[in-house]
Amino acid sequence: MADKKTAPDWRMGGITVPEVEDYLYEMLPPRDGVLTEMEGDAAQNDVAIVGPAVARILYQLAVIAKAKTVFEMGSAIGYSTIWWARAVGEDGKVVYTDGDKKRAEKARRYFERAGVAGRIDVRVGDALEFLSEEKQTYDIIFNDVDKVDYPRVFRLALPRLKSGGLFITDNVLWSGKLRQPNPDDETRAILEFNRLISDSKDLFTTILPIRDGVAVCIKK
């Protein structure tokens, strides 16, 4: 059983009981060398990634939806980007976004080693600005930017998502802090975002209580 003190940061915790979370991760099949290295990189350097349990969900959803275009908001070292790129196939396209040039360069090297670089459009800068400039619509928009920006992402994403497309967001249960008194700015933003996606007449929304909470919305 994993020790909380030695478990990598991408395990998060706070949603499921530790024993159940340990079991879920123990049941995962091994990842290939590149992904395993990235998981170690993220743990060692305190880089936020979704981790393998959530990444498998993202991959499954993309395959089920037969998605060919994905816009990823907040890509870090590109861990989830590789899962998306493998899901969309050789004729698909994934947009990577991150504001840190060094992280983006590291991600490029991982993409080359994973054999998916040709499917990924790397953009360095503000993910919200990039999305606001988009003229096309996407099969999937994945939201994992700074939490205070989540309500703005909601308003930007819907017009740029195809009918039947998926709007997927990480960290929507925020380590269980949503019910605590006196929420900080990030927590308030997530609370607002969760209300927006739940009340929207344009979306059918489910929140999955895995890792730190994943919202899956289908655009009607």
Domain-wise residue ranges, the chain = 9-219
Span 113-134, pLDDT tens digits: 999 999 999 999 999 999 999 9
Span 59-81, pLDDT tens digits: 999 999 999 999 999 999 999 99
CA angle, 111 as apex, 107 and 112 as ends, to 5°? 120
CATH architecture of 9-219: 3-Layer(aba) Sandwich (3.40)
Q: What does pTM read for this prediction?
A: 0.94
Place 187 in a pLDDT band, splitting at 50, 70 and 90. very high
Query: What is the per-residue pLDDT for 18?
Result: 85
Distance of CA 8 to the CA centre of its chain: 17
For 161, phi and psi rounded to 5 degrees? Answer: -115, 135
User: How do beta strands 161-170 and 214-219 pair?
Assistant: antiparallel
Phi-psi region of 74 (alpha: psi -120 to 50; beta: other; left: phi over 0): left
Place 15 in a pLDDT band, splitting at 50, 70 and 90. confident
Span 140-161, mean pLDDT? 98
Span 72-101, mean pLDDT? 98
- Residue 40 and residue 31 in contact, taking contact as beta carbons nearer than 8 Å: no
Pick from 62-66, 74-78, 142-146, 176-180: least confident: 176-180
